[in-house]
RNA sequence: GUCCCCAUCGUCUAGUCAGGUCCAGGACACCGGCCUUUCACGCCGGCGACACCGGUUCAAAUCCGGUUGGGGACGCCA
């Protein structure tokens, strides 16, 4: 089926920017939050538009009034904003174009590309069930396809409700198109039933609305999930019947869960919500960077991209054809989501300019009630230095408020393992640490160099390994079993705090 | 069930169109080592895949056919 030559590293049909401006769209249906699958679709469209100097249209497909909600619309917009995906037009609302959809349906009717069908839902259901019972493939049998104008008029006179069906050409051959990702895709006319384009209540269906909107919005490239692949031949039929030019189609592989089921809001919940990542300390661009890699590759070894680099590198031809798995394990004690996503987030956390990280950390500290206005004022240098010191081993922004609490507050829990292993296991620390604290206190200035000298001499004098008081100090001062160099920390946190926390050792032995 | 799509390490993938440079490269994860006051970073090393069967060819991950496996779509949802 697929024409191999249509894909690969050689340029595929996707450029064609000379003819007209590139226009793509992201058309979410507002029936829930923005999930990572939708975000990825939006991202690919956005990248493609940016790459070609085109426009991205945001169009809310809200024709399913029963399921569409205002919160959902806001949630999607918030999600896109947070990710930094900007659009050039919209949001447009599909519901505002209902008249055009109806007009298009009437045009199809008038031109003989569609017909009224009076079969009732019950009749159809019965036929479908019968076919299923006989293990036969069900397709609409065309009962109303050849009704004479008189018959139609008679049924309408009786007030019988009717849907409008598209009249699929009953000819040999296939409808096909060159997908920018999958290559040549074809479907036999015989395999396409006369599908419904307008409900019996007069409301047009998605398949039609979507095409009408794309024509009106002058969409040149339809980049969407592979679950739309089988719809495409039918939509092409509509384009042709409406006398419109076909856009280029590019179907992207789906994102599956570990059980290889399509991820969905319904079955996967918050773990697939963009908002979840915002709330769990992800940097927006880190998520975007991770998502783009799910089904796309630049063709070389690069995996970390700045915005500009990604726009430059992005291409439809780099999209894979096979579905990818979003590798998260529920209840994994170590990784709360895909390890690679976490890794990319950690990468940005420790490599971005500290000034870019600071405002994001500020938000986390504010949420935890740990923010001090001075961190943005006279203590700004100290604050930035703190982040520089601790960000190296953090994976998310929330870590600053949890694992890093001791840097911003005097009340902080001490990691159990740190306490037992580095403090309680060595009862002599109960006397040693206050003594060390006294020596620090006696210093004119507690610099890193002085702290190191004093600590080492102290250990030697007491006949213990330097690691003993140092690691104990880490537990008591930072609450953690791991962390930055303690000598630097003694200086950075200041004599007063260091001495005070060291002297607290006794209370833990009770 | 029918139609469509897909198939390389556990996961994301490069390589497939233009067969040989691939006893298959990178990243994450995992394991070991170095570094070190701890952990992390970093560096070094290890583990680990062309689904299967045929065919074409001097030569196949790559081309062809089939099998198996997986996914998607089969609504008067979007």
Of A306, A324, A325, give the one whose Cα is nearest residue A314. A306
Least confident piece of the model among A61-75, A186-200, A229-243, A461-475: A61-75
Question: Any residues with CB less than 8 A from the CB of A290 and at least 6 apart, and which?
Answer: A338, A340, A341, A344, A345
Is a pLDDT exceeding 50 seen at residue A81?
Answer: yes
Please answer whether residues A62 and A94 qualify as being in contact, where contact means their C-beta atoms are separated by less than 8 angstroms: yes
The nucleotide closest to A124 (CA, C1' atoms) = B76
Report the pLDDT averaged over residues A91-96.
94
Supply A21's token pair.
Answer: 């401006």
The A89-93 sheet, strands edge to edge = A23-26, A55-60, A89-93
Report the pLDDT averaged over residues A112-124.
93
Of A55, A62, A60, A61, give the one whose Cα is nearest residue A87. A55
User: Higher-confidence residue: A378 or A69?
Assistant: A378
Residue in the block written with tokens 């008081």: A469
pLDDT of residue A14: 44
Supply A201's token pair.
Answer: 């209540």
Measure A48 CA to B14 C1' (Å): 22
pLDDT of residue A329: 84
pLDDT band at A65 (very low <50, low <70, confident <90, very high): low
Chain B: positions less than 7 Å from a protein CB are 1-8, 10-18, 25-30, 37-41, 63-64, 70-78
Please answer whether residues A87 and A65 qualify as being in contact, where contact means their C-beta atoms are separated by less than 8 angstroms: no
- Beta pairing class for A174-179 and A55-60: unpaired
B37 C1': nearest CA residue: A467
Provide the mean pLDDT of chain A: 91
Is a pLDDT exceeding 90 seen at residue A377?
Answer: yes
| C-beta atoms surrounding A97 within 10 Å | 20
- Beta pairing class for A174-179 and A163-166: unpaired
pLDDT band at A134 (very low <50, low <70, confident <90, very high): confident
Is a pLDDT exceeding 90 seen at residue A268?
Answer: no
Is a pLDDT exceeding 60 seen at residue A4?
Answer: no
pLDDT of residue A18: 47
Supply A467's token pair.
Answer: 């690691």
Please answer whether residues A216 and A100 qualify as being in contact, where contact means their C-beta atoms are separated by less than 8 angstroms: yes
**Which range, A102-116, A133-147, A318-332, A423-437, is most confident?**
A102-116
CA angle, A224 as apex, A325 and A189 as ends, to 5°? 110
pLDDT of residue A383: 97
* Three-class SS state of A92: strand
Is a pLDDT exceeding 90 seen at residue A506?
Answer: no
Show the DSSP H helices in A353-504 as ranges.
Answer: 354-367, 380-390, 398-402, 416-419, 429-442, 448-462, 467-478, 486-493, 495-503
| C-beta atoms surrounding A278 within 10 Å | 17
Burial degree of A507 (CB within 10 A; 0-12, 13-18, 19+): exposed
* Three-class SS state of A324: strand
Report the pLDDT averaged over residues A263-281.
91
Backbone dihedral angles phi then psi of residue A188, each to the nearest 5 degrees? -70, 140
pLDDT of residue A331: 81
Measure A204 CA to B70 C1' (Å): 35
Report the pLDDT averaged over residues A432-444.
93
Active site residues of A: 265
Measure A339 CA to B21 C1' (Å): 34
Report the pLDDT averaged over residues A392-397.
94
Question: Any residues with CB less than 8 A from the CB of A490 and at least 6 apart, and which?
Answer: A440, A446, A448, A451, A473, A498
Q: Residues of A434-457 as b/e, b for ≥16 C-beta within 10 angstroms?
A: eebbeebeeeeebeeebbbebbee
* Three-class SS state of A9: coil
Cα A62 from chain centre: 21
Q: What is the pTM of this model?
A: 0.93
C-alpha pair distances (Å), A341 with each of A39, A282, A322 = 14, 9, 20
Is a pLDDT exceeding 70 seen at residue A496?
Answer: yes
Is a pLDDT exceeding 70 seen at residue A11?
Answer: no
- Dihedral angle, C-alpha A81, A83, A89, A94, nearest 10 °: -80
The nucleotide closest to A395 (CA, C1' atoms) = B40
User: Higher-confidence residue: A90 or A292?
Assistant: A292
B75 C1': nearest CA residue: A196
Beta bridge partners of A26: A58
The dihedral of CA A18, A316, A214, A217: what is its sign? negative
Alpha carbons within 13 angstroms on the beta-carbon side of residue A352 total 24
C-alpha pair distances (Å), A503 with each of A169, A280, A500 = 88, 35, 5
Q: What is the DSSP letter of A66?
A: T
pLDDT of residue A402: 95
B7 C1': nearest CA residue: A322
User: Higher-confidence residue: A366 or A5?
Assistant: A366
pLDDT of residue A19: 59
CA distance A326 to A267: 14
* Three-class SS state of A297: coil
Measure A413 CA to B76 C1' (Å): 60
pLDDT digits (tens, 9 = 90+) for A25-55: 999 999 889 999 999 999 999 999 999 999 9
User: Has the ipTM of the complex gone over 0.90?
Assistant: yes
Is a pLDDT exceeding 60 seen at residue A12?
Answer: no
Alpha carbons within 13 angstroms on the beta-carbon side of residue A386 total 22
Backbone dihedral angles phi then psi of residue A291, each to the nearest 5 degrees? -65, -35
Report the pLDDT averaged over residues A286-315.
96
CA distance A113 to A111: 6
CA distance A145 to A112: 11
Report the pLDDT averaged over residues A68-94.
94
pLDDT of residue A17: 42
The nucleotide closest to A262 (CA, C1' atoms) = B71
């Amino acid at each position: 089926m697929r024409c191999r030559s249509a894909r690969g590293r050689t340029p595929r049909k996707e450029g064609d920017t000379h003819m007209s401006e590139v226009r793509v769209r992201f058309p979410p249906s507002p029936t829930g939050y923005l999930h990572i699958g939708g975000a990825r679709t939006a991202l690919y469209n956005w990248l493609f538009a940016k790459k070609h100097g085109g426009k991205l249209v945001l169009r809310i497909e809200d024709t399913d009034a029963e399921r569409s909600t205002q919160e959902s619309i806001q949630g999607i917009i918030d999600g896109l904003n947070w990710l930094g995906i900007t659009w050039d037009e919209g949001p447009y609302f599909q519901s505002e174009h209902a008249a055009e959809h109806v007009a298009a349906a009437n045009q199809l009717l008038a031109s003989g590309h569609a017909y009224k069908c009076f079969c009732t839902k019950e009749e159809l259901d019965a036929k479908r069930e019968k076919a299923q019972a006989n293990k036969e493939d069900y397709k609409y049998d065309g009962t109303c396809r050849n009704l004479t104008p008189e018959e139609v008029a008679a049924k309408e006179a009786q007030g019988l409700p009717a849907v409008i069906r598209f009249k699929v050409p009953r000819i040999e051959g296939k409808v096909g198109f060159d997908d920018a990702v999958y290559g040549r895709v074809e479907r036999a006319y015989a395999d396409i039933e006369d599908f419904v384009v307008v409900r019996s209540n007069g409301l047009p269906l998605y398949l039609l609305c979507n095409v009408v909107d794309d024509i009106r919005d002058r969409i040149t490239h339809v980049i969407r999930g592979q679950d739309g692949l089988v719809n495409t031949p039918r939509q092409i039929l509509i384009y042709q019947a409406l006398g419109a030019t076909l856009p280029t189609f590019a179907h992207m592989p789906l994102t599956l869960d570990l059980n290889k089921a399509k991820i969905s809001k319904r079955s996967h919940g918050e773990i697939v919500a963009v908002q979840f990542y915002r709330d769990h300390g992800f940097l927006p661009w880190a998520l975007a960077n991770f998502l783009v890699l799910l089904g796309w590759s630049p063709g070389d070894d690069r995996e970390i991209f700045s915005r500009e680099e990604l726009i430059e590198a992005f291409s439809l031809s780099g999209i894979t054809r096979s579905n990818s798995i979003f590798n998260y394990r529920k209840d994994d004690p170590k990784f709360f989501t895909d390890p690679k996503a976490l890794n990319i987030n950690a990468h940005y956390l420790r490599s971005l300019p500290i000034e870019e990280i600071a405002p994001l950390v500020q938000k986390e500290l504010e949420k935890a009630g740990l923010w001090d206005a001075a961190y943005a004022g006279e203590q700004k240098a100290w604050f930035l230095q703190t982040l520089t010191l601790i960000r190296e081993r953090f994976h998310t922004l929330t870590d600053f408020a949890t694992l890093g609490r001791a840097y911003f507050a005097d009340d902080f829990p001490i990691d159990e393992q740190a306490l037992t292993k580095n403090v309680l296991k060595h009862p002599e620390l109960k006397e040693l640490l206050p003594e060390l604290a006294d020596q620090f206190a006696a210093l004119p200035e507690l610099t890193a160099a002085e702290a190191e000298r004093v600590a080492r001499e102290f250990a030697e004098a007491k006949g213990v390994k330097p690691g003993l008081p140092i690691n104990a100090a880490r537990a008591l001062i930072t609450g953690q079993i791991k962390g930055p160099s303690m000598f630097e920390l003694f200086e950075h946190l200041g004599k007063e705090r260091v001495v005070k926390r060291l002297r607290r050792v006794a209370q833990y032995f009770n």
